[in-house]
A and B are shown apart, each in its own frame.
Chain A
Amino acid sequence: MTLCLSGGVGKGKRTGKSMIRDITIGQYYPGDSPIHRLDPRVKLFGTLIYIISLFIFKGVAAFVLAAIFLVAAIKLSGVPFFYMVKGLKAIVVLMVITGLFHLFFTQGTPLVSFGALTVTREGLKNAALMLVRLALLIIGTSLMTLTTTPNQLTDGLEKSLAPLSKIGIPVHEIAMMMSIALRFIPILIEETDKIMKAQAARGADFESGNIFRKVKAMIPLLIPLFVSAFRRANDLALAMEARCYRGGAGRTKMKPLCYRKCDYAAYAVLFLYLASMIALRFVWIRMSVFLEW
């Protein structure tokens, strides 16, 4: 699962403090599209299948099919394209490095050379292929996190991994910890923002000075934050116990996950897509064999 912290850190440049209120977690984009309504398990498996398909394909036709599939899903989700590309920003550096490596270190027919570095035809092709692959991968997983709330995702994971509890893995407890952790991230961010502002109102300065001063300046922020995190954890544990929470055994759900017609339809579309990707791969190998021959 990809958790993306995105948002306006350091917005109020001149007011000095990076008020971190705008951060969204899991970058969920609220909506009521067919994609939003899908069972989270379908989206989890769908993303997995999509990732696999990206690594088995070869050739331009498969590229186009993968891209069309993704664009269709994005259109259906109603999430503005801008949000998808936001996810790419985080890995720009990785993409540039990968691209350069493929460009310069692939053996083959030389095109241009800069001193010791030579750009080959194969290198150019590989770099382009890798970049498109990475972009599709990130946009594909972003689509899942944008259309599924973190809680739905953990529910989906819990149900999908349920068989593991037979061999003694506490699946429910892990899922519960994940959802509590996710739930607490925005609360703690808000708390941090509040304490930062409160200390700033008392003249605290979190920005100027050398590293030691900066670390020291964090003390008035961190101590109240830890105190409040422990207080909240205590309150939550008490509240859960007061409602007789005893872990996963025999526990039912308020909104149990169950597949509906559209979920089966989505699975059908997914497998159709996977099948055509595999078919394309074989066609491509045949064609290349034919061409070489």
Chain B
Amino acid sequence: MSIILDKVNYVYGAGTAYEAQALKNVSLKIEDGEFIGLIGHTGSGKSTLIQHLNGLIRAASGGIYYNGEDIYDRDYDMRGLRSKVGLVFQYPEHQLFETTIFEDVCFGPLNQGLSKKEAGVRAFEALNCVGIPEELYYQSPFDLSGGQKRRVAIAGVLAMKPEVLILDEPTAGLDPGGRDEILDQIAKMHREQGITVLLVSHCMEDIAKYVGRIIVMNQGEVLFDGAPEKVFEHYRELEAIGLGAPSVTNFLHGLLERGLPVNARAITVEAAKHEILEMIAERKRR
């Protein structure tokens, strides 16, 4: 199972004074079970890109293939695609509308054509997965705190049991505690259920800690695509487009520049600690 994008182009407001090319010849291959971080500055085209993946936006030119099938084929089941590729938008809590949390989470599964009972089971699982306590299930979603609303909204997509989960800045506007909780839960689902996850973020620390591959977008083009360590080696180019590497990687590069023979490829605090201790031990041995 994979998603292939072949030279996808997209233009906003074609034929008006405000015309802007949002995607330029984007070609990508997303394999089954990957955990990918998509980073890029505001307006780099990342949100536009992810909306292509479940057919909400149609490319101006180029092709998209899900499991080898062209999603722009005349008789392709677009609604089926949307339940396979789950998309959680930025600030997803703004889409809540039902009278109770439980019913809101049932909305997706019911649209998939499941019975009330099955949808209920799905909703129960999804809410459990994002850590919403059972006593809240029959309250109004509008009475929850911001972080809880966000988790209910994510559960609304999870309940559809997507094969690919795309999250657009799922941690924007949350406190560090809420942020780690949500990301840990996503990482757990990726590990245990083997779903493919595409995480859009501009927080380098989040990305570095969880993902196995990073795609960097700049002005509608894919700038870098590879393992986090490889991508963060280009930390100077990343800074030039307003992104930069995790602080700890910058710190290691600083040490290196000052003449300490440290391996600057580490991207998490734990790995960096390990590298520095290693370096100190090495020096002692000499």
Say yes or no for B58: interface residue by CB 8 A criterion. yes
Of the listed stretches B75-83, B185-193, B208-216, B269-277, chain A binds B75-83
Chain B, Cβ-Cβ closest to A82: B15
Of the listed stretches B104-112, B172-180, B242-250, B259-267, chain A binds B104-112
Enumerate chain B residues within 8 angstroms of A12, measured Cβ to Cβ: 57-58
Chain A, Cβ-Cβ closest to B72: A14
Say yes or no for A248: interface residue by CB 8 A criterion. no
Interface residues of A in 209-259 (CB under 8 A from B): 219-220, 223-224, 227-228
Say yes or no for B17: interface residue by CB 8 A criterion. yes
Say yes or no for A64: interface residue by CB 8 A criterion. no
Enumerate chain A residues within 8 angstroms of B14, measured Cβ to Cβ: 22
Enumerate chain B residues within 8 angstroms of A17, measured Cβ to Cβ: 56
Say yes or no for A16: interface residue by CB 8 A criterion. yes
Q: A15-B55, A15-B56, A220-B107 are in contact. Are A202 and B78 (CB under 8 A)?
A: no
Say yes or no for B156: interface residue by CB 8 A criterion. yes
Give the bracket for the number of chain B residues in contact with chain A.
Answer: 35 or more
Enumerate chain A residues within 8 angstroms of B156, measured Cβ to Cβ: 202
Inter-chain contact B56/A201, CB cutoff 8 Å: yes
Enumerate chain B residues within 8 angstroms of A199, measured Cβ to Cβ: 95, 107
Inter-chain contact A219/B82, CB cutoff 8 Å: no
Enumerate chain B residues within 8 angstroms of A219, measured Cβ to Cβ: 97
Q: A194-B89, A197-B56, A220-B97 are in contact. Are A205 and B79 (CB under 8 A)?
A: yes
Say yes or no for B16: interface residue by CB 8 A criterion. yes
Inter-chain contact B111/A224, CB cutoff 8 Å: no
The one of A22, A198, A205, A228 in contact with B92, judged by C-beta atoms closer than 8 angstroms, is: A198
The one of A7, A191, A200, A228 in contact with B82, judged by C-beta atoms closer than 8 angstroms, is: A200
The one of B55, B94, B97, B108 in contact with A203, judged by C-beta atoms closer than 8 angstroms, is: B108
Say yes or no for B96: interface residue by CB 8 A criterion. yes
Chain B, Cβ-Cβ closest to A223: B97
Inter-chain contact A201/B86, CB cutoff 8 Å: yes
Chain B, Cβ-Cβ closest to A196: B56
Inter-chain contact A224/B58, CB cutoff 8 Å: no
Interface residues of B in 91-121 (CB under 8 A from A): 92, 94-97, 107-108, 111-112
Minimum distance in angstroms from A248 CB to a CB of chain B: 33
Inter-chain contact B111/A201, CB cutoff 8 Å: no
Q: A203-B160, A220-B97 are in contact. Are A198 and B89 (CB under 8 A)?
A: yes
Say yes or no for B44: interface residue by CB 8 A criterion. no
Inter-chain contact B87/A19, CB cutoff 8 Å: no
Q: A15-B56, A19-B57 are in contact. Are A202 and B94 (CB under 8 A)?
A: no
Q: A201-B54, A203-B111, A205-B79 are in contact. Are A224 and B97 (CB under 8 A)?
A: yes
Inter-chain contact A195/B95, CB cutoff 8 Å: yes
The one of B13, B17, B57, B92 in contact with A30, judged by C-beta atoms closer than 8 angstroms, is: B17
Say yes or no for B12: interface residue by CB 8 A criterion. yes
Inter-chain contact A202/B111, CB cutoff 8 Å: yes
Q: A201-B87, A202-B157, A224-B95 are in contact. Are A16 and B78 (CB under 8 A)?
A: yes
Contacts A12-B57, A198-B87 known; list 13 others, CB within 8 Å.
A14-B58, A14-B72, A15-B56, A16-B78, A19-B57, A21-B12, A197-B89, A201-B86, A201-B87, A201-B89, A203-B108, A203-B112, A220-B95
Task: Provide a sorted-by-A list of 12 A–B residue pairs whose CB atoms are within 8 angstroms.
Answer: A12-B57, A15-B57, A17-B56, A194-B89, A198-B87, A202-B157, A203-B107, A205-B79, A220-B97, A220-B107, A223-B97, A227-B94
